[in-house]
């Protein structure tokens, strides 16, 4: 496995999933606090009130990050920790926490990458309409400005919004994520407003700190069609690809939405796009964050998925009976590492203006915990990471402009609607004692990074 000499390896987390300390030091209520408290929304009625207690244990966790040998750490800022009610009244104790976190990372030689929005909107903003309401664009921009003023002297790389497709379609379409709405019109409005928010925030951030680099973290996939001779299936692939892979990328890079998908949204989209909006949306990325977990397989829609247009939670069936290969992870997702290579090469071909790609999330859920000897033998995760890293290396060798890879996740954490049932970490967390244990996958990742750095040092010495 060979990577570019300046390639960076990292780990990722998000605020609500690890921080805990939910109602102390002035933090406001987020949409995930409300959602988790609603019966039937989260497995076992679990929540992020304590999570991994990272708010109090961050020095220990940064030591773990240092031990893994990574170059960079991606985390998110909790909006309600900084602005409890989403308005202009700030909570200084929240800003102080991220000051301490960032300073500690830098002291350990770890580069911070901050995500502004990883799904924990202040509940007060959702009460006013959330991402479905146009006012959220200015609210988010104000939040981005405050974060830039506070932290851009030490943080250069920023993700504005993590997985806006999930924000849009899981939060407002199917309702399986917070805020739990099931309204196609609201979801389409959110699809537009998230694109606008990225553009508006990016412009505002660069006016304050021209040196910052901004990007989006998009959950992307390679679609596989069961029968490519079936015109209906190929048309469905085009619509779904436009909704997931192309919507925010085309919007940012070119100032337009995918033609077929926008046409399918029809008046629901036309009603929320105002004159001048697409100029705001058009804000080319300094880097593209790709969150990849598996390919997606399209077959004939099942009866419960019909009609294809606007008949249910999604405008197109997101579930289909396309046959996915075995094996699957604990999430039920197929393991398809070659799909990551194909996706990266597609980005290189279809969006040549994207000159920097970071794999901002990649990982797998498996349940293994400490054995009798105290070690965590998670060989399936070792194999998953190795095969996907090989695809990244292959794509880099074939000219894809990839600069970084972030394993998801640093540690086991609150996995949204799955509660604590699913474990993605390369570090095991005992939620009762908060004991951290590096899994074999973490050690394997550490060794790969060390080998890469050693080969780079050897090259430098040979050139000296």
Point out which residues pair with 435 in neighbouring strands.
430
Q: How far is CA 160 from CA 149, 244, 284, 320, 356, in A?
A: 15, 17, 13, 31, 16
Tell the residue number behind the tokens 């697409």, with chain if given.
Answer: 278
Q: What is the per-residue pLDDT across 338-347, written as a single tens digit (0 to 9) for each?
A: 999 999 999 9
Q: Considering the domain boundaries, does residue 2 fall inside one? A: no
Report DSSP letters for 396-453, one per residue: HHTT--EEEEEEE-SS----GGGTTS----SEEEETTTTEEEE-HHHHHHHHHHHHHH
Tally of domains within the chain = 1
Q: How far is CA 86 from CA 60, 107, 200, 294, in A?
A: 30, 31, 17, 35
Per-residue model confidence (pLDDT) at position 311:
40
Which of 163, 243, 368, 415 is the catalytic position? 163
Point out which residues pair with 198 in neighbouring strands.
none
80 with 28: CB under 8 angstroms?
yes
411 with 52: CB under 8 angstroms?
yes
Bin 20: left if φ > 0, else alpha if -120 < ψ < 50, else beta. Answer: left
CATH of the domain at 254: 3.20.20.80
Question: Half-sphere exposure of residue 239, counting CA atoms within 13 Å on the CB side?
Answer: 19
User: Per-residue pLDDT for 147 more than 70?
Assistant: yes
| pLDDT band for position 423 (cuts 50, 70, 90) | very high
Per-residue model confidence (pLDDT) at position 464:
55
Q: Considering the domain boundaries, does residue 157 fall inside one? A: yes
Q: Considering the domain boundaries, does residue 3 fall inside one? A: no
Question: Half-sphere exposure of residue 332, counting CA atoms within 13 Å on the CB side?
Answer: 4
Q: What is the per-residue pLDDT across 216-270, written as a single tens digit (0 to 9) for each?
A: 999 999 999 888 998 888 888 999 999 999 999 999 999 999 999 999 999 999 9
User: What would the two tokens of residue 83 be?
Assistant: 């602005």
Least confident of 21-25, 278-282, 317-321, 407-411: 317-321
Point out which residues pair with 288 in neighbouring strands.
216, 357
Q: Considering the domain boundaries, does residue 336 fall inside one? A: yes
Least confident of 280-289, 290-299, 415-424: 290-299
Which of 126, 361, 368, 415 is the catalytic position? 361
User: What would the two tokens of residue 287 be?
Assistant: 């880097």
User: Per-residue pLDDT for 433 more than 60?
Assistant: yes
Least confident of 2-6, 162-166, 171-175, 458-462: 458-462
Q: Considering the domain boundaries, does residue 1 fall inside one? A: no
Could you give the CA distance from residue 126 to residue 136 in angstroms, rounded to a whole number? 9
Cis link prior to 290 (omega < 30° from 0)?
no
Q: What is the per-residue pLDDT across 9-37, written as a single tens digit (0 to 9) for each?
A: 999 999 999 999 878 899 999 999 999 99
Give residue 287's Cα distance to chain centre: 14
User: What would the two tokens of residue 304 be?
Assistant: 């419960």
Q: Considering the domain boundaries, does residue 431 fall inside one? A: yes
- Beta strands (DSSP E) in 249-343 are 287-291, 296-298
The length of the chain in residues reads 464
Q: What's the mean per-residue pLDDT of the chain?
A: 94
Q: Considering the domain boundaries, does residue 202 fall inside one? A: yes
260 is an active site residue:
no
User: What would the two tokens of residue 63 be?
Assistant: 């030591």
Task: For residue 72, give every residue at least 6 positions away whose Cβ sits within 8 Å of its Cβ, in sequence order, or none.
Answer: 8, 9, 10, 110, 111, 112, 113, 404, 406
Report DSSP letters for 288-309, one per residue: EEEE----EEE-SPPGGG-STT
Could you give the CA distance from residue 425 to residue 407 in angstroms, rounded to a whole number? 9
161 with 247: CB under 8 angstroms?
no
Q: How far is CA 250 from CA 91, 258, 283, 343, in A?
A: 36, 7, 10, 15
Q: What is the per-residue pLDDT across 131-142, written as a single tens digit (0 to 9) for each?
A: 999 999 999 999
User: What would the two tokens of residue 276 be?
Assistant: 């001048």
Give residue 70's Cα distance to chain centre: 19
Dihedral over Cα of 18, 22, 28, 33: its sign: positive
Q: Considering the domain boundaries, does residue 152 fall inside one? A: yes
24 is an active site residue:
no
What range does the domain containing 214 cover? 8-463
Per-residue model confidence (pLDDT) at position 463:
53
Dihedral over Cα of 382, 388, 390, 396: its sign: negative
Least confident of 33-42, 98-107, 366-375, 450-459: 450-459
Dihedral over Cα of 22, 26, 28, 29: its sign: positive
Could you give the CA distance from residue 57 to residue 345 in angstroms, rounded to a whole number? 40
């Amino acid at each position: 496995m060979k990577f570019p000499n300046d390639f960076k390896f990292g780990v990722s987390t998000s605020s609500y999933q690890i921080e805990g300390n939910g109602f102390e030091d002035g933090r406001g209520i987020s949409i995930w606090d409300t959602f988790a408290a609603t019966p039937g929304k989260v497995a076992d009625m679990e929540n992020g009130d304590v999570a991994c207690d990272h708010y109090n244990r961050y020095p220990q966790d940064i030591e773990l990050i240092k031990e893994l040998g990574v170059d960079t750490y991606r985390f998110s800022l909790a909006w309600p920790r900084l602005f409890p009610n989403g308005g202009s009244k700030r909570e200084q104790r929240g800003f102080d926490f991220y000051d301490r976190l960032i300073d500690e990372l830098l002291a350990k030689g770890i580069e911070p990458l901050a995500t502004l929005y990883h799904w924990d909107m202040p509940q007060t903003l959702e009460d006013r309409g959330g991402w479905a309401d146009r006012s959220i664009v200015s609210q988010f921009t104000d939040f981005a400005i405050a974060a830039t003023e506070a932290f851009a002297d030490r943080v250069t790389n920023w993700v504005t919004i993590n997985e806006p497709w999930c924000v849009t379609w899981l939060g407002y379409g199917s309702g399986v994520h917070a805020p739990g709405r099931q309204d196609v019109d609201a979801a389409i409005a959110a699809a537009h407003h998230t694109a606008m928010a990225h553009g508006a925030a990016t412009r505002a951030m660069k006016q304050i700190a021209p040196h910052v680099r901004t990007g989006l973290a998009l959950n992307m996939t390679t679609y596989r069609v069961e029968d490519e001779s079936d015109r209906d299936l190929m048309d469905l692939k085009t619509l779904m690809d436009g909704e997931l892979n192309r919507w925010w990328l085309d919007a940012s890079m070119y100032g337009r939405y995918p033609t077929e998908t926008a046409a399918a949204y029809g008046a629901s989209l036309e009603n929320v796009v105002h004159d001048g909006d697409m100029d705001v949306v058009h804000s080319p990325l300094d880097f593209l964050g790709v969150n990849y977990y598996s390919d997606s397989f399209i077959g004939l829609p099942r009866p419960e998925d019909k009609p294809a247009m606007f008949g249910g939670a999604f405008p197109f069936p997101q579930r289909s009976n396309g046959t996915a290969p075995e094996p699957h992870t604990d999430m039920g997702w197929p393991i398809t590492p070659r799909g990551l290579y194909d996706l990266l090469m597609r980005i290189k071909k279809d969006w040549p203006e994207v000159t920097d790609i970071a794999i901002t999330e990649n990982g797998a859920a498996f349940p293994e915990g400490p054995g009798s000897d105290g070690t965590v033998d998670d060989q399936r995760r070792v194999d998953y990471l190795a095969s996907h890293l090989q695809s990244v290396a292959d794509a880099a060798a074939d000219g894809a402009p990839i600069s970084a890879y972030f394993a998801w996740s640093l540690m086991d954490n609150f996995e949204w609607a799955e509660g604590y049932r699913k474990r993605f970490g390369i570090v095991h967390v005992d939620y009762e004692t908060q004991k951290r244990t590096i899994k074999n996958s973490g050690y394997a990742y550490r060794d790969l990074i060390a080998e890469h750095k050693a080969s780079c040092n050897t090259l430098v010495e040979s050139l000296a």
